[in-house]
Structure 1
Amino acid sequence: MSSSVCRRLHGLFTTTKTTSLPKTPKPTATAAATTLKLSPAKSSGPPNNKNLIALVGQFKKASRSSRFRHHSHKAYFKIVHRLAVANKHSYIEEIIEHQKQYPDITNERFAVRLISLYGKSGMFDHAHKLFDEMPQLNCERTVMSFNALLSACVNSKKFDKISELLSELPEKLSIKPDTVSYNTVVKAFCEMGSLDSAVSVVIEMEKSGVEPDLITFNTLLDALYRNDRFEEAEKLWGLMQDKNVFPSSRSYNPKIRALVAGKRISEAVEVFQEMGSKGVKPDVYTFSALIKGFCDDENLEDAKRQYKEMEKNDCYPDPAILRILGKRACEEGEFEFGLELCKEAISRRRFIGLPMMQRVLDGLVKESKMEEAKELMELGKSNSFVQYKLEWHTDE
């Protein structure tokens, strides 16, 4: 690269009075030396225990308000989630036990919320204890609270207890399991890897006079395709048709992902076309799977077409797929498309990572596309979402 070009580059990336960047050294005539250095902001560190204690106190005080208890479901979830992340299970118990003094505890829906919070915190024994206490709290137990207990079991990863709950509690408590009950059990078996048991639940449902629904089939299809059990999955499609259960994009996506993973992209495209012929609208995961497949197949043009189709369908890929697409674009020298991806990602607050931005910037500089390179650099410096310090420097 000529010295005049280097001087132009230096002018593009020189600091301004409003930007706290180090003094720019004199550039050399080496394009490879051009770098975009971004340093992540400092982490705020783990939460202070004193602050958490204060938070628990504030929450208990807020709980005195019936309006807060009735309408602040998200607040309950957020504080319990924060305490669970901090591994403060005793604080979670303190908050939930505190709720029992209010008249709301006689309402099953309120009790179900508390059982669910225990489950999402991995505290199944506490959830079970609260379920057992419901009669003493003058709270009726129906299939709704039973299903909450099943979900708490799954969320707490206590899969070994799920069969026991389903086989013993309904008869003992005169509760008839419904579709939600069986779907929770299906999910548990799938997460355990006991796919044969999961499929057998469908037979058990029919014996009990409970019809499987779309959630039942989607859960099973996802598990079967993830484990390359195509033959069994295809049989489920037939059963869905027999029961007049109309598939959704979530039914097709596992099959498309499995075909892509098996490098059978042409078959994945056929499944995508089948969705269209049956009036099933693809979602972001459908498009993302196909984009990955085309990129793996080194077919950037079709990957770009799917990217454009996503926008027409009100979808947008996650950062991982953007990085895959950006990598493919850079490998094929399409740095302007890479710039388009970076700009779109920043505008949508999707952080695609420094390596991709660096690769796009280096490619633009190498092709002497100075204005485009400057645009990317300025975007990184000025956009508060990125929250990184950018530095221009050259290696002597």
Structure 2
Amino acid sequence: MAAAAPRAHRLSRVFSSSTPSTRTTKRRTTKTPNSSRDSIDIIIKGLLRERDPDKLVSGFIAASSAHPRFRDRHRVYDVAVYRLVSFGRLDGVEAIINAHKPFLETSSAGFAARLIRLYGHASMASHAAATFHGLPPRIKSTMTFNALLRAYIEAEELETLAAAFKEIPASNSLVVPNVYSYNILLLALCKKPDLSAALDIVALMEKSGITPDLITFNTLLNGFYNHGQMDGAEKVWEMMKERNMVPDAKSYNAKLRGLVAEGRIEDAVAVVERMEKDGPKPDTISYNELIRGYMKDGRLEEAKKLFIGMGKNGYATNRGTYHALLPCLLNAGDLDYALKICHEVLDIKCRVDCHVLQEVVTALVAASRVEDATKIVELGRKNSYPRWILKMPHTIEDNEVLTETNREESISEEEEEPENA
């Protein structure tokens, strides 16, 4: 513990002298009134609120058939599929996607790829494969092939993915694996895990005339660190150095996760100090990992100081920050700070998973702090958490609704996986 205090002190000095990472703000533009667009927006809002799976499917098919612009709204498709999956209605997912197949003859490869990915969201890999193989020849391309690979990843059909990677390009001249294709294959091998084979993919890429990119090496780093293979991760760092590949914050975040998982919090702090000094600058995820590390080590006060330092130095907190803090605060019995954090979350409208807030509400009620719990529920409802999701413990009902909404809210997260090409 003697060494811990100086390390924490050094980190606080770094915060005071560092330049925080900033996010660019998109400039708002004035929208021109458009009755067609407004009509589609109203339809989408209705579908997003629909909880009857049969009405959701019928309404979705009607809207997509009648309004071509509706078919460009990607998020409503994702939400509808996740919701139907949560209801166990894979037949509904199939009905929606089948209704779109007549448009494939006149649509782009991007549209076809989206349909295939939707099957991936539902873990319906065989349907994704059938859709790919049934595509018109002109759009049976690298893009739709990559969508199929992603569907296999989501369905955890890793062996099938590896087989498809070998077989499909061999029989389709328009399918030529690119760096994104190889990165998905790498991700599958890292998940299996078959890390030795994953390392060999880099040589295979280069032999095929494809230059590995930073995503390639970050995928490898995550694979080795996630499975506690620190020596293998060092080999990846050497490979990057040999190829003059400049690591980014994601590269170091992978290392931080590995160190925190092993309980090496002081080494993790040293990595962040080095990043602050020499670059790349740490980001919010970097500090989230340190917070997790301190919490895991039982050093609650240091985690709090780090959290406060993030805000003071302009590092934007996110869902991951609060997901790291709140459960540990509850485990430590620090209800006052957990309550404060909940108010902050709801004030800045950060969409934290509802089950995390519910755990705080339940803990407050158990501690006879009913008024505080009620206030969180009221604020949650003002922040669009429906009453069947966030409620007082005596009225908690089906956890399936919680699961459904959490999946809908988690379409974008801190996952560091290959990005689309």
Q: Per-residue displacement from partner, 1:326-358 (whole Å, max 9, x unpaired)? A: 65583xxxx765554343244345465577578
Query: Which residue is equivalent to 1:313?
Result: 315
Report if the CA contact (8 A) 2:249-2:282 is conserved: yes
Matches for 1:2-13 after TM superposition, within 5 Å: none
Structure 1 residue 170: Cα displacement: 1.3
Change (3 A) 1:203 1:354: same
Structure 1 residue 234: Cα displacement: 1.1
Distance 1:347 1:319 in 2: 16
Q: Determine whether 1:196 maps to 2:196.
A: yes
Larger Rg: 1
Query: Which residue is equivalent to 1:148?
Result: 147
Q: Per-residue displacement from partner, 1:122-145 (whole Å, max 9, x unpaired)? A: 12222112211223xx64322111
Distance 1:122 1:95 in 2: 15
Query: Which residue is equivalent to 1:4?
Result: none
TM-score (norm 1): 0.73
Query: Which residue is equivalent to 2:133?
Result: 132
Q: Determine whether 1:218 maps to 2:222.
A: no
Query: Which residue is equivalent to 1:19?
Result: none
Matches for 1:326-345 after TM superposition, within 5 Å: 327-328=331-332, 330=334, 337=337, 340-345=340-345
Q: Determine whether 1:172 maps to 2:142.
A: no
Distance 2:59 2:315 in 1: 44
Report the 3-state secondary structure (helix = DSSP H, G, I; strand = E; otherwise coil) of the residue aligned with 1:117: helix
Distance 2:239 2:301 in 1: 37
Query: Which residue is equivalent to 2:251?
Result: 251
Counterpart amino acid of 1:299? R
Report if the CA contact (8 A) 1:381-1:388 is conserved: yes
Q: Determine whether 1:123 maps to 2:119.
A: no
**Would you say how many aligned residue pairs link Structure 1 and Structure 2?**
329
Counterpart amino acid of 2:155? S
Matches for 1:13-28 after TM superposition, within 5 Å: none
Q: Per-residue displacement from partner, 1:268-305 (whole Å, max 9, x unpaired)? A: 11111122233223233321221232234343443223
Q: Runs of 5+ in structure 1 lacking a partner?
A: 1-46, 366-372, 392-396
Change (3 A) 1:88 1:381: closer
> Structure 1 stretch 204-213 or stretch 77-86: which is displaced more?
77-86
Report if the CA contact (8 A) 1:256-1:268 is conserved: yes
Counterpart amino acid of 1:313? Y
Change (3 A) 1:361 1:94: closer
* Structure 1 residue runs of 4 or more that deviate by more than 6 Å after TM superposition: 357-363
Q: Runs of 5+ in structure 2 lacking a partner?
A: 1-49, 395-421
Query: Which residue is equivalent to 1:304?
Result: 304
Change (3 A) 1:388 1:163: closer
User: Cα RMSD over matched residues?
Assistant: 3.2
Structure 1 residue 151: Cα displacement: 1.2
Change (3 A) 1:104 1:72: farther
TM-score (norm 2): 0.69
Counterpart amino acid of 2:277? S
Change (3 A) 1:155 1:180: same
Query: Which residue is equivalent to 1:102?
Result: 103
Change (3 A) 1:354 1:129: closer
Distance 1:95 1:357 in 2: 38
Change (3 A) 1:307 1:149: same
Q: Per-residue displacement from partner, 1:19-69 (whole Å, max 9, x unpaired)? A: xxxxxxxxxxxxxxxxxxxxxxxxxxxx97xx3223222222112235335
Structure 1 residue 309: Cα displacement: 2.7
Counterpart amino acid of 1:269? V
Q: Per-residue displacement from partner, 1:180-217 (whole Å, max 9, x unpaired)? A: 00011011111111121222111211111111112111
